[in-house]
Amino acid sequence: MNIIGALRQEESKLQRQLTAVKGAIAALNGGRTTAVSPGHTSSPKGTSGKRTMSAAVRAKIARAAKARWTAERLERSSRPSSGTI
């Protein structure tokens, strides 16, 4: 039996329970902080996982940005210039 692994699992479980209890106390006291659900806590080291986007999503965002800038350029070029520098 892996004692260290079991202790780490227990620590993680207790950390989730502590977060839930703190959220409940804050809610009862009218605290403005929102309670984090037990399944969405950060890692024990305090760092959260890195979120990544797929290549398809990045390409979609890039296409949308290019379309916005193209529309902006077209709008700017169709406006009459003020004639002052």
User: What pLDDT score was predicted for residue 78?
Assistant: 84
Look at residues 61, 10, 16, 11 and name the one whose alpha carbon lies nearest to residue 36. Answer: 16
pTM of the model: 0.36
User: What pLDDT score was predicted for residue 79?
Assistant: 78
Per-residue pLDDT of the chain (85 residues; tens, 9 = 90+): 689 988 999 999 999 999 999 888 888 887 655 555 555 555 556 566 778 899 999 999 999 999 999 999 999 988 776 656 6
Strand extents, DSSP E, the chain? none
Cα–Cα distance between 62 and 58 in angstroms, integer?
Answer: 6
User: What pLDDT score was predicted for residue 25?
Assistant: 87
Cα–Cα distance between 36 and 18 in angstroms, integer?
Answer: 11
User: What pLDDT score was predicted for residue 55?
Assistant: 93
Cα–Cα distance between 64 and 10 in angstroms, integer?
Answer: 46
Cα angle value 48/5/20 (rounded, 5°): 50
